[in-house]
Structure 1
Amino acid sequence: MSDSSRDASSSSDEILDIVDLHDEVVGQAPRGEAYTRGLRHRCVFVQARDAQGRIFVHRRTATKLVFPSLYDMFVGGVVGAGESYDDAALREAEEELGVSGLPRPVPLFKFLYEAPAGPGRDGAASGGGGVRQSWWSAVYEVPCLLPVRPQADEVAWYDFLSQEEVDARLGVWEWVPDGLAAYERLRAPRG
């Protein structure tokens, strides 16, 4: 899978399971092809909180394959071919936070994210005549009581912010749209 020495070209070669509207695997494709062709795949979003309950928030590096330089209140990424959501959540959380020995992230819910028409995942215009992007998104939470050492090639800035601080920045900072959609669902009353 990925590691801190990975570059954008090897990241785009990572093989992903391609899934249907019911999250059933219907094929496999390299990550770059999945993005370019708008093939539905799987992602994980992990909200990490410190001992004071503050949320790990970061700004993605400018070199990220998708949503460069935007803020996110989750760590996570794509689920590799044959990988479970649970395994991907733990792998991605440990990689992006730069820790090992996290408890297994707790699954909260799953939803199908459908990107708005217009700009693609990289902030540029979508290729292929406006290819519609969507991915199954599994949302988790995990306590992170370890000192974090985020990957320099993934995270340009980070801090742990209170819920109030995050909410105050929602209309100010530019957030990754899928993370924002997951956050809004997480914060919505459930009944």
Structure 2
Amino acid sequence: MNPADEILDVVDEHDRVVGQSPRGEVYARGLRHRCVFIQARDARGRVFVHRRTPTKLVFPSLYDMFVGGVVGAGESYDDAALREAEEELGVTGLPRPSYLFKFLYDDGAGRSWWSAVYEVRCELPVRPQVEEVAWHDFLPESEVEARLGDWEWVPDGRAGYEKLREYRSGR
């Protein structure tokens, strides 16, 4: 199936389902939907970072410090987090990601989605999807921090990363 044809739940400002539409239409019309962001770390605590492929519908060729994606129609955030993490990391048997918090991403230009943030430890060898991931590595948190000003990051992932830092600092 073409990713643009995947059916998504359309939600309101309170994350209540108000309809369903194909992903391509959701993006084209700027309809609010649901996404999951999973911060994957290896056994040494390094963060999985990747650059998206140029064929991605949203934010092509940008860097991201999360794996994840859209939540399908009728799918729970928890199920989407496990599905997306395994798909993007190219693994099976990953522990269920741990839910941390949820926030409403809105760029003010018609891109808005509820974003559930998770974390997971991945001690399996990763084989990311070539359709999704052009480059990847596990980087120490200090290197991720150093690259924030150097690399062009997906804006929703960058917002999620800032929210995660606030969450971890107890703010």
Task: Give TM-score, length-normalised by structure 2.
Answer: 0.97
Q: Which among 183, 186, 190 is matched to residue 161 of structure 2? A: 183
Secondary structure of the residue aligned to 1:86 is helix
Residues paired across the two proteins, number? 169
In the alignment, structure 2 segments of 5+ residues that lack a partner are none
The answer to whether residue 119 in structure 2 is matched with residue 141 in structure 1 is yes
The answer to whether residue 160 in structure 2 is matched with residue 160 in structure 1 is no
Q: Which among 7, 21, 29 is matched to residue 29 of structure 1? A: 21
Secondary structure of the residue aligned to 1:17 is strand
Distance 1:23 1:40 in 2: 9
The answer to whether residue 62 in structure 2 is matched with residue 82 in structure 1 is no
Deviation above 3 Å: which 4+ runs of structure 1?
A: none
Report the CA distance between 1:133 and its aligned residue: 1.7
Identity of aligned pairs, percent? 77
Report the CA distance between 1:116 and its aligned residue: 3.8
Report the CA distance between 1:186 and its aligned residue: 0.4
Q: Give 1:13-92 correspondences, 5 Å limit.
A: 13-92=5-84
Report the CA distance between 1:76 and its aligned residue: 0.2
Q: Give 1:103-118 correspondences, 5 Å limit.
A: 103-117=95-109
Root-mean-square deviation over aligned CA pairs: 0.8
Distance 2:107 2:38 in 1: 19
1:19-67 Cα offsets, whole Å, 9 max, x none, are 0010000000000000111110000000000000000000000111110
Task: Give TM-score, length-normalised by structure 1.
Answer: 0.87
Report the CA distance between 1:115 and its aligned residue: 1.4
Secondary structure of the residue aligned to 2:160 is helix
